[in-house]
């Protein structure tokens, strides 16, 4: 019962939130950690400890996503796989169009603030991310 009430409150808050503006898209830049995933049948998978986070770089309608693996001593490792994406605006919404050599998929940006992102894929699965301000990586992948 408590979970149902919580989802209802989240739904109402998200429904009443301001729409995302094109100028907000620069907030995509940064290091993001997955918090939880909510399936279409409202099954929640929470991620309390993550070994990897995502570095997103976005500029002029195009961007990249890259996994950053956190190492137990506080350092990090970047993988060499860079996933490219574009952002498309359509009917007062913005969509991330992801493409790799193996697949392509679309995610709607439902929430975008300085601290949170919520993306929903074409199957209705919702991905909640929080910003990590304690990891500083430049565009070249080196620590700042």
What CATH number is associated with residue 55?
2.40.128.280
The verdict on residue 139 lying in a domain is: no
Question: What range does the domain containing 105 cover?
Answer: 20-131
Looking at the domain assignment, is residue 25 inside a domain? yes
Output the pLDDT for position 66: 92
42 in helix, strand or coil?
Answer: coil
Instruction: Tell me if 6 is assigned to some domain.
Output: no
pLDDT of residue 17: 54
pLDDT band at 5 (very low <50, low <70, confident <90, very high): very low
Counting the structural domains of the chain, the total is 1
Average of per-residue pLDDT across 105-109? 97
Would 30 be classed as within a structural domain? yes
- 41: tokens are 């049948």
pLDDT at 8 over 70: no
pLDDT confidence bin for 10, thresholds 50/70/90: low
Q: What is the pLDDT of residues 62-91, one digit of tens each?
A: 999 999 887 777 677 788 888 999 999 998
Could you give the 3-state DSSP secondary structure of residue 3? helix
Residues 6+ apart with CB under 8 A from 74: none
In this predicted structure, the answer to whether residue 14 has a pLDDT above a threshold of 70 is no
Render pLDDT for 18-64 as a digit per residue (tens, 0 to 9). Answer: 789 999 999 999 999 999 999 999 999 999 988 889 999 999 999 99
Return the pLDDT at 144: 47
Domain annotation covers residue 5:
no
Q: Has residue 98 been placed in a domain?
A: yes
Residue 47 belongs to a domain? yes
DSSP track, 63-93 = EEEEEEEE-TTS-EEEEEEEEEEEEEEETTE
Asked whether residue 10 is assigned to any structural domain, the reply reads no
């Amino acid at each position: 019962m408590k979970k149902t009430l919580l989802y209802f409150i989240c739904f109402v808050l998200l429904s009443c939130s301001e729409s995302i503006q094109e100028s907000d898209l620069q907030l995509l830049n940064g290091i993001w950690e997955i918090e939880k995933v909510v399936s279409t049948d409202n099954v929640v998978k929470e991620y309390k400890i993550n070994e990897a986070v995502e570095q997103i770089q976005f500029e002029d309608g195009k961007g990249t996503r890259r996994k950053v693996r956190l190492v137990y001593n506080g350092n990090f490792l970047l993988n060499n796989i860079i996933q490219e994406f574009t952002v498309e605006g359509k009917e007062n919404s913005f969509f991330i169009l992801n493409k790799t050599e193996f697949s392509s998929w679309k995610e709607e940006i439902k929430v975008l603030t300085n601290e949170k992102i919520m993306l929903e894929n074409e199957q209705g699965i919702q991905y909640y991310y929080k910003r990590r301000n304690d990891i500083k990586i430049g565009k070249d992948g080196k620590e700042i």
